[in-house]
Amino acid sequence: MLNIMRGYGHPGHNEAVVMDDDIGSWPTGRLLSVAARVVEGRFHAFLETRGLTHAGLIALHHLAGGPRSQREIAVLCRVTDQTISRTVDHLRQAGYVERRTDERDRRRLLVRITEAGERVLADARHAERASDRLLGALDDYDWFRGQLVKLITAAS
């Protein structure tokens, strides 16, 4: 029996993957790749309903610890200054962040997460873990997350 899974890819794609009954025989790399695309596509759709992108979510994550300069956010997000500038502009327009002058250095602007930004970040974190269409489908979320961290750390 074949099962066709649609809409797992990047935004705007409606790719189909034929899932055969022998998915357990797939190489681990293929399993990781398909799982990443499935979760990313579903999470993108979730974020889109909240006016967020993956880049915006990552920036909010780094701002949860306190205000930062755009340059600091870019470094932490591993993107260019131009990319983070667009991301911060989008987050500002959505009401998730604000820019303020640094009290210690009036020449510098800091980006700060707003209450709305904190709420949407908490909502996204909860949905990722609780949704049976995202990582809530796992038997042991914390164990799986730990294994991903271990894998990425070992591969870096």
SS (H, E, C) 119-156: HHHHHHHHHHHHCCCCHHHCCCHHHHHHHHHHHHHHHC
Q: What is the mean pLDDT of residues 25-37?
A: 90
Query: Domain residues for 95?
Result: 54-114
What is the chain's alpha carbon radius of gyration, rounded to the nearest angstrom? 18
DSSP state of 25: G
pLDDT in tens, 126-156: 988 888 877 778 888 889 889 889 988 998 7
Examine residue 64 and state whether it is found in any structural domain, yes or no. yes
Taking the alpha carbons of 97, 101, 102, 103 in that order, is the dihedral positive or negative?
negative
Examine residue 133 and state whether it is found in any structural domain, yes or no. no
CATH number, position 109: 1.10.10.10
**Residues written for the chain:** 156
What pTM did the predictor assign? 0.76
Name every residue whose Cβ is closer than 8 Å to that of residue 68 and which is 6 or more positions away in sequence: 62, 76, 110, 111
12-16, 50-54, 90-94: which has the minimum mean pLDDT?
Answer: 12-16
Examine residue 87 and state whether it is found in any structural domain, yes or no. yes
Examine residue 75 and state whether it is found in any structural domain, yes or no. yes
pLDDT in tens, 80-97: 999 999 999 999 999 999
pLDDT in tens, 108-124: 889 999 999 999 999 99
End-to-end Cα spacing for the chain: 39
Task: Report d(CA 156, CA 144) in Å as an integer.
Answer: 18
Examine residue 71 and state whether it is found in any structural domain, yes or no. yes
What is the reported pLDDT for 156?
79
Residue 21 has pLDDT above 80, yes or no: no
Residue 18 has pLDDT above 60, yes or no: no
Name every residue whose Cβ is closer than 8 Å to that of residue 133 and which is 6 or more positions away in sequence: 42
Examine residue 146 and state whether it is found in any structural domain, yes or no. no
Given the structure tokens 């596509």, which residue do they identify? 41
Number of domain units in the chain: 1
More confident residue, 143 or 16: 143
Examine residue 143 and state whether it is found in any structural domain, yes or no. no
Given the structure tokens 């294994």, which residue do they identify? 147
Tokens of 80: 């260019």
Examine residue 15 and state whether it is found in any structural domain, yes or no. no
